Structure 1
Amino acid sequence: MVGAQVRGWLSVDFSFGTEDAAFREEARCWLAEHLGGDSGRGSEDWAVRRAWERELGRGGWVGIGWGRAYGGFGNRAATLAQQVVWAEEYAAAGAPERVGHIGENLLAPTLIAYGDAAQRDRFLPSIARGEELWCQGYSEPGAGSDLAAVCTVAVRDGDVYRITGQKIWTSLAREADWIFVLARTDPGERRHRGLSFLLVPMDQPGRIEVRSIRQLTGTAEFNEVFFDGAVARAEHVVGGPGDGWRVATGLLALERGVSTLAQQVAFGRELDEVIGEAVRNGAVDDPVLRDRLVRQWAELRVMRWNALRTLGPAAGDAGTPSVAKLLWAGWHQRLGELAMHVRGAGAASGPGDWSADAPYELDAAQRRFLFSRADTIYGGSDEIQRGIIAGRVLGLDGGRKR
């Protein structure tokens, strides 16, 4: 009875069938066979991680949801259920974090939806083969969650656009071959108007500079990117000049699709680690901490049901991406805090000796706690997400009904 109620609420049946079970076994066997010391699992060696992307490409596991016309597994489209299966099995296997994620799951679907045939022919095959990596040029120092405030300018010069400006918090910028950039191509327009979505090669010495940003964790996953007359070909404007806002917001909706289910598998492993630590050190005997652990477990199940629901007919709902972001960002931040509380005073000490002459060391849980402080900010802050839900779903404007 409960299962029937849940399926009704989901509006899509995710009771996997026989074909899905066979697909799961195939995915699981392939991962077990190919994951090894040279797969890039936990590696910071970018040559190794790029080689893993090419291995995935040769196996036909890149772009399985694109459709038969654009490549995909076995030159056929995997069903939505099979895409979920692959995402879950990949995460459950502890496979390497994907460095091709931005190209495969963000740019490629955007080109399929908004690009032209020439753009799809040029870029989709190289992404499917794991040969070209992409990064995203959206946020700027003065335009993060408020994306319509971008100031980077692209000026038409014959057959090309020349780009001047700065982007920030750019993942993979040092390793990427290409970047898609939201820039203002009509200086006479403001806010959402006059923006264009350009595909820009990163290999432009003297025109593109990348600077790493060192974070509280001591690592530097993010970068600043400076454009000084960087060139993008006119035929590489997706959707046409001035249509950048429609394309950019369409891409953002894709960020919270099937990949969120893989994210939740990873979250589940992190939660298991916290529970294991609580059992080992006796913190689980504290009824308050035990209640918080149970709440984290239950909320993770709710997130899964919501994610499955939004893959069905609810996928087009205006507030769907914002609800998903609010759910997982707050959950993950609370998990980081809970992990520190479970550990107690020991959470304040690192695994190595600290000195003024050497950088401090952190273990995985400490890095996760510090990094998670940004979860409710990046990708659209909580305030922005609540504003979107208030305006687009509840019909409110500034707290008042329209």
Structure 2
Amino acid sequence: MIRTRPVSIARIGKTLAKIAATAALLSALTTANAFADAKFQRWIADFRSVALKSGVSSATFNRAFAGVTAPDPEVLQKARYQPEFTAPVWDYIDNRVNEHSIATGQAMARQWNGWLARIEQSFGVQRSILLAIWSMETNYGEILKRDDVMRDAIRSLATLAYADRARAKYARTQLIAAMKILQTGDIDRSHLTGSWAGALGHTQFIPTSYQAYAVDMDGNGRRDIWTSVPDALATAANLLKRNGWQPGRTWGYEVVLPAGRKFPSGSLTLAEWERLGVVRANGKPFPYPTEKATLKVPDGRQGPAFLMTKNFFVLKRYNNADKYALGVGLLADRIAGYPGLVRDWNRPFTPISMQERQELQQHLQVLGYYDGNIDGKIGSASRKAIEAFQKRNGLAPDGHPSKEVLSILRRR
């Protein structure tokens, strides 16, 4: 016989009160959500006239917004928490130029050799640059397979246009462009997906850039950067070509600076830089002495230095950030078979390989510090996990994926 303890009337009353309070809260939240959805639906209805005046047909508008009933809360979350990138340059590069991205790029070069040759011939952009962009944008298309990253482009842009004041103008423009892409028949509604900010396809083009540069490379009548790798890579090549890419030229040179000397911030010819004592780090001469270049020292004078040529600044038309263009250039060189930097980054720790980074994440996961992807990429979650482990073990909590931290983890 099972005996139970008597339950007081007071306890029952408290329990019922908690249940009632929870129900009231849920009801209030439901009402609030319904109100927000209704406002969003009114915004969509009002936006119809704007879209139609901009050349979107009524049928296309209906097709675009079918099933879009509420804003995407995850888009708003990502939009509100997008701090400017403040990590050191070596951290940015380590996560993007590594043995995995290099080997995968070389494998993709072999797999897509025929198409890459045609694209090079048509647009004059080296295959290694296009492969590096593909890697930087979507990890050679792997990100397109992730439901936690890729979203309904119409809903994302409508959410930003409706609820994000800072991005509303951008989002309205891109939303109209996205509907026009749908209207052309280049992609069907179910595959019109992108990032939280509406960047589309393998090479992550915002809709207006897609309209300006998209190419039907495979000749099937559609400019499909979502499922056609030739179309996506040719579209990237077209953007670079039309923004002044110089065929057969590099993006820049690693150089050695003479100690104790100041240099101009502007552009000089490579011959002029050489007369100032700036020479290539590999000891070779500059192949085009009359070409102009600008000095960049992203890690300070203690790290590697570069003379950036015009193609570097053309890469910034893809993404207007020095670190991005440098990452593309460095990865492209490694994919093409060139050696890495002569002078390494000025890291405050002993670095580890990509495989060792994955091992580090696995150890942290087993110990309960980390619950993210085991991918070797050290983002905020990995750094917080490393810091927590370091604090628990009496180490300086710098969050660096160092050889020292891995050695201690291996002993646990």
> What TM-score do you get using the length of structure 1 for normalisation?
0.26
Structure with higher strand content = 1
> What TM-score do you get using the length of structure 2 for normalisation?
0.25
